Amino acid sequence: MSSEWMKDAVLQATTRRQFVKGATAAALAGAMHGVAQQSAERKIFAYVGTYTTKMDGGGNGEGIFLFELNPRTGELLNRKLAAKTPNPSWIAIHPSRKYLYAINEVTTFEGGSGSVTAFGVDETTGALHELNVVSSQGAGPAHMSLDATGRFAFVANYAGGSIAVLPVLADGRLGDAVDTHRDTDAISGKSATNAPLGSFAHSGHDKPHAHMIAPDPQNRFVLQSDLGQDRIYVYRFDAATGTLTPAATPYTSLPSGDGPRHFAFHPNGHWLYLLQEEASTVVLFHFDQQNGGLTEKQTLSTLPSGFAGTSYTSEILVSKDGRFVYCVNRLHDTIAIFAVGGGGMLHPLGEVSTMGDYPRHFSIAPGGEFLYVCNQLSDSIATFRIDHGTGQLKFTGQYTAVGSPAILTFL
């Protein structure tokens, strides 16, 4: 065998390997480009739940509205009425993105209960089709969430003072509750211990009022705030059966009358921030991920120094990078901004106007560039651009008309 033939054979083999390697790289690059392009072209939908009857404010809504988000400008476009359903004041999206669940904040379902409606989602158009409606196992549901696996939905019934666990069936429908809890003792005082001077924020201390329910980031515990009892309950969650059992410390008490409302975990899962509705305060807890225990570390007002009079907090958000916390004040109609320091401690950075009346809910769009405020009594959603360096918010000048908006959730 000649040396020249050997050289040619080696060269051809090398060339073939380079060709195959190059072709594989090109194919992979093409596939990645296709995925990136598909991702870039995927539409981002926003669902807005509204009050269709007067509940703690206006009732000018018609159900659930669908919008398409322009991720460059923040505009909410192509408004459509996606579903007519009564008082869908809270919405949760299934982890699969195939289903949407909306509470119906009513007291007339099946003789005195509220309800939850399940919808199928068309990911291409955002359209909704109703799957079924089930009892929330209590009057006037105010909040719901899903466990991390998407197998169970948790519902807090404000008027009924109860919580329920609903199974999510294989086709996205909801089943009847697999667990319910209701506490009846320890109603707190009418006036908030830490309310601003001259405050008349006295609502909700006539009986238990379950206000929010959600799992911890590890999906091991479920936390529930009760405004009437000024407590946060902690349950150990069985992800196989959906049942809840009291944690080692079943509940943590807050100052009388302060009114625990909504809470949010820091991305690290160790810090929990709680809004007090009637005191207009935010409370930091350290959360023990092993036993569910809560240790209070800090309480701050969500209102500016020197404020006097009546105001109610409504919603709280932690930025995705964990550097900032945002709290909404109703009547004062502002968003309070806090920087997160060592140990989760908050440092006030000021407030900005919600550019509307009676802000009930706010949310941050995918990508984290824009924040949207549902101003219930002014029938509009205001759009803000987020400065990621400072946490500050700047109104974009964009209003979106929606009757009595209660919540905005992105798909």
pLDDT (0 to 100) of residue 205:
86
Q: Do residue 22 and residue 112 come from a single domain?
A: no
How do residues 47-77 score in pLDDT, each as one tens digit?
999 999 987 777 999 999 999 999 999 999 9
Tokens of 325: 């916390």
Judged against a pLDDT cut of 80, whether residue 3 lies above it is answered with: no
Q: Do residue 2 and residue 149 come from a single domain?
A: no
Q: Do residue 128 and residue 12 come from a single domain?
A: no
Q: Do residue 94 and residue 5 come from a single domain?
A: no
How do residues 267-284 score in pLDDT, each as one tens digit?
999 999 999 999 999 999
Judged against a pLDDT cut of 80, whether residue 346 lies above it is answered with: yes
Q: Do residue 113 and residue 178 come from a single domain?
A: yes
DSSP letters spanning 360-381:
EEEEE-TTSSEEEEEETTTTEE
Judged against a pLDDT cut of 60, whether residue 258 lies above it is answered with: yes
pLDDT (0 to 100) of residue 189:
80
Q: Quick one: residue 250, left, alpha or beta (phi over 0 = left, psi -120 to 50 = alpha)?
A: alpha
How do residues 374-390 score in pLDDT, each as one tens digit?
999 999 999 999 999 99
Q: Do residue 214 and residue 265 come from a single domain?
A: yes
Express as a percent the part of the chain with pLDDT over 70.
90
Q: Do residue 21 and residue 56 come from a single domain?
A: no
Q: Do residue 23 and residue 60 come from a single domain?
A: no
Q: Do residue 18 and residue 82 come from a single domain?
A: no
pLDDT (0 to 100) of residue 123:
92
- Residue 7 has phi, psi (to 5 degrees) of -60, -45
Judged against a pLDDT cut of 70, whether residue 27 lies above it is answered with: no
Determine the average pLDDT of the residues in 224-242: 97
Quick one: which of 349, 348, 385 has its CA closest to 370?
Answer: 385
Judged against a pLDDT cut of 60, whether residue 16 lies above it is answered with: no
Quick one: which of 234, 254, 235, 246 has its CA closest to 186?
Answer: 254
How far, in whole angstroms, is CA 65 from its chain's centroid? 17
Express as a percent the part of the chain with pLDDT over 90.
84
In which band, very low, low, confident or very high, does the pLDDT at 32 lie, cut at 50, 70 and 90? very low
User: What is the number of domains present in the chain?
Assistant: 2
Compute the mean pLDDT over every residue in the chain, rounded to the nearest whole number. 91
Domain interval for residue 222: 48-410
Residue with tokens 């225990």: 293
- Where does residue 101 rank: exposed (0-12), middle (13-18), buried (19+ CB within 10 A)? buried
CATH code (residue 322):
2.130.10.10
Q: Do residue 63 and residue 31 come from a single domain?
A: no
Judged against a pLDDT cut of 80, whether residue 161 lies above it is answered with: yes
> What is the pTM (predicted TM-score) of this model?
0.89
Q: Do residue 124 and residue 173 come from a single domain?
A: yes
Q: Do residue 257 and residue 234 come from a single domain?
A: yes
Helix H or strand E encompassing 32:
helix 3-41
Judged against a pLDDT cut of 50, whether residue 217 lies above it is answered with: yes
Cα–Cα dist 10/251, whole Å = 75
Judged against a pLDDT cut of 80, whether residue 30 lies above it is answered with: no
How do residues 174-196 score in pLDDT, each as one tens digit?
999 999 999 887 787 888 999 99
16: CB partners within 8 A, 6+ apart: none
